[in-house]
Amino acid sequence: MSKLGRVAIGGKNPVRIMGIINTSPESFYIKSVYTEQKEIAKIVKQMEGDGADFVDVGGMSTAPYLKTLVPEKTEIERVTKAIHAIQNASSLPISIDTCRSSVARVAFDLGVEILNDVTGLKYDNNMTTVLEEYRPSVIVSAFSKTPISGNQVTQAKNLLRHSISIARKSGISKEKIVVDPAIGFFRKRAEGIFFTKINSDWLKRDVMIIQNLRSVRIGYPMLISVSRKSFIGEILKEKDPDKRLAGSLAAETIAVLNGVDVIRTHNVKATFDAVQISQKLKSSKAYNRL
């Protein structure tokens, strides 16, 4: 049975919800940013009450279209403060959103159970050493340091297989690995460094991936993060992330119907409600006959 931290996922388990707590003022969605321990404690309590199964903490934005790189010391200070606040207020399993081994090590020493690496364990060569030591659950994203071309569904599967291989060679059991197709991280050009360069249309890529989630998951539980992202803004012609809630919920609903197991979101209560309805309709005999 697959688990993300101590929570069972996939199979007959319900779709799980991962709430986002950003401690980085550089993040693209400013309303997801919490820098003070009191407000972090308050929001994590709210998330837990609203139906979150985990909380994902990040100390450095990885939005590809922004220059967001901060010193490792800054990232460590931010997430350390947040982790303490969360642990004092909630019993939710914590995921650390980082691609730096030094940050991951500090988080695991504090009791964090999950690594969420948007580079699929390919950015920091020392990350494998940390995995070997702590054996956390791992979320690996589709990512390439070099430009890629060709069918994007095929490429996503190949990139995920590579990251899975890295995790397995680092001693992580299959039951503790979750895949993420990296919606929003494939671009022709970008200001940041955490993206995969492609020559094709990035919007078409993201839409195609969401339409083919059952194929992309390659036999592993899948997490998806689409909340308020650029592809929603492009489709809706809406530049303000604060006005993308309805689009986010629609995309998350489609993801549930296409077999996703975990949804990472800024909008825990709204996403929880959308997931409940999606699962109910998905499992009905009427839906299965369509």
> CA 229, CA 252: separation in Å to the nearest integer?
12
User: 0.85 exceeded by the pTM?
Assistant: yes
Give the per-residue pLDDT at 283: 66
**One-character DSSP codes across 153-198:** HHHHHHHHHHHHHHHHHTT--GGGEEEE--TT-EESS-SSSSSEEB
Amino acid at 87: Q
Amino acid at 280: K
Q: Are 5 and 114 in contact (CB under 8 A)?
A: yes
Q: Compute, in degrees rounded to 10, the torsion defined by CA atoms 235, 239, 244, 247.
A: 0
Enumerate the β-bridge partners of residue 139.
116, 178
> CA 276, CA 14: separation in Å to the nearest integer?
9
Per-residue model confidence as pLDDT tens for the chain (290 residues): 899 999 999 999 999 999 999 998 777 777 778 889 999 999 999 999 999 999 999 998 776 666 667 899 999 999 999 999 999 999 999 999 999 999 999 999 999 999 999 999 999 999 999 999 999 999 999 999 999 889 999 999 999 999 999 999 999 999 999 999 999 989 877 766 788 899 889 999 999 999 999 999 999 999 999 999 999 999 999 999 899 999 999 999 999 999 999 999 999 999 999 999 999 988 655 444 44
> CA 150, CA 257: separation in Å to the nearest integer?
27
Percent pLDDT > 90 in the chain is: 81
Residue 115 phi, psi (nearest 5) = -105, 130
Give the number of other Cβ atoms within 10 Å of residue 245's Cβ.
Answer: 16
Give the per-residue pLDDT at 203: 93
Amino acid at 11: G
Give the per-residue pLDDT at 289: 45
> CA 117, CA 32: separation in Å to the nearest integer?
19
Enumerate the β-bridge partners of residue 54.
18
**One-character DSSP codes across 19-37:** EEEE--TTSS-GGGB--SH
CA dihedral sign of residues 268, 134, 3, 250: positive
Q: Which helix (H) or strand (E) holds 97?
A: strand 94-97
Give the per-residue pLDDT at 287: 45
> CA 154, CA 54: separation in Å to the nearest integer?
30
- Tokens found for residue 130: 């940390």
CATH topology of domain 3-288: TIM Barrel (3.20.20)
Q: Is 115 helix (H, G, I), strand (E, B) or coil?
A: strand
Boundaries of every domain in the chain: 3-288
Give the per-residue pLDDT at 24: 83
> CA 103, CA 77: separation in Å to the nearest integer?
9
> CA 113, CA 186: separation in Å to the nearest integer?
28
> CA 114, CA 107: separation in Å to the nearest integer?
9
- Tokens found for residue 24: 């980085």
